[in-house]
Each structure stands twice: as structure tokens, then as C-alpha cells.
Chain A
């Protein structure tokens, strides 16, 4: 997997996410935020993009989902811009699993989605982990 291929895959995330109706799933027990379909497809492999997040890619390098490990303990502490809106969106933060659908009628979720997707692409270009 070259750096260029991985960046290109990350750039495809907004289109794939819209087509496949990705949702945000906060798994507080695991401490991870998933941005993916309700079920991430089989035969996909996890590829770390930056220290903050990884992406599941299928054999054709099409994104199948994004995983932010240690979302609250790590990601939010480094991305203060997300903190307020994240706390509003995932109100039931102590519940084990909270699903947020960024459908157009949910304004806060669509704002979070836009910020999140922009951040994924920006960070991939700047802070990709080395092979």
C-alpha cells in the first residue's frame, strides 16, 4: 500500500459514505468512534492512516469504514473543535453504543460529518504514519 493509494482512498470517503449511508457509531465500551455502514463489510482490512484514525479498505481499496481508536481519550483532546458538537451529538455518552445518522434533517450531525470528513483528508495529507 503506497502513501498515494491510501490518500486517494481517504479522499473517496465522502462519496462512499454518502452512497452507502454511513453513520457514526460511538462505542464507549471500546472507546472507539466508527464512521461506517451499520455493518462493516467482510473481507476488508484495517489500514492505519494517521496516529488518530484507521480505515477499513476492501480488496479494491474502496473505503468500508473509519475507526478512531480512543476517541474521547485521545482524538477529542487533540481536536478541541469537535468537543462541543460531539458532546451534543453523543449525549448518551455513558451508554455503550450510540448511533448518529448524519441525515439532512439532523443539522448538528451534518455539521459534524462535514468537519470530520474534512479533517480525515487534511490529516492524511499532513500526518500519515510511515510504513
Chain B
């Protein structure tokens, strides 16, 4: 599939210079169940997470073909909140599956930390 700005809402590069795409079709598919994807400025936050992740974990379900990028945002009510971007790994690009803003690291202690530090 050819990715361009006609079919993608975001085309960028990750911290290693690998192309990352978020298609318009994928955004539409996920936005009903992920209200964060309807927030103003969300694409900028997703891009920042892809370019400057705080840490990256292997995905819990598909460890070899998916990764979870996290970007620390702020602490509120005693909990850290993150931007999380789930990506699938392809031959020469990464594909954004979905993105949301959890206050918990589901993969912590379950899968390998691939990049960055996560000490709390």
C-alpha cells in the first residue's frame, strides 16, 4: 500500500528514523472507542510519542510484531498519565494501530522494556 497524505493523517519517523504511518481509515476505525483520538491536538501528541518515547515495551499479545510506545505527560491524583501508541512492525515501516492516554503501564513486569527507562 502506498502511504501519502491523502490516506494518512500522520506520516512521520520514529526515534530511529523509521517511517511511521497512521492512516485516516485506522483513525476512523478506532475513534469511537477511544475518545482521546477525537481530542484536539491528539495527532501532535502521537507524533511526539513516536519521535521521543519515554520508553517502549514489547506488546503483551504479539511480542515480536507489535510494540507499545509511551510518552510521560504528567502526574495527577497520584498517578502518572502517559500517551500510549500501539504500533505494528512491518518490513520498512511502523503502523499505528491505536493510541490512548492511560494512567497505568499494562506491559510493565510482563514484557521486555525495549527502550528508555521506567523506574517507578
Contacts and interface: CB of A to CB of B under 8 A. Distances in A.
A1 B77 contact: yes
A30 interface: yes
Give the size category of B's interface with A.
20 to 34
Contacts of B101: 45-46
Contact of B104 (A44, A97, A129): A129
A42 interface: yes
B106 A29 contact: no
B24 interface: no
Interface string A96-128: 110000000000000000000000000000000
Contact of B100 (A1, A39, A46): A46
Nearest to B79: A131
Interface string B4-21: 000000000000000000
A27 B31 CA distance: 12
Nearest to B101: A46
B60 interface: yes
B33 A27 contact: yes
B38 A73 contact: no
Contacts of A34: 33
Given A31-B60, A31-B62, 4 more contacts: A45-B101, A46-B100, A51-B104, A64-B35
Interface of B: 29-30, 32-36, 38-39, 60-62, 77-79, 86, 97-98, 100-104, 106
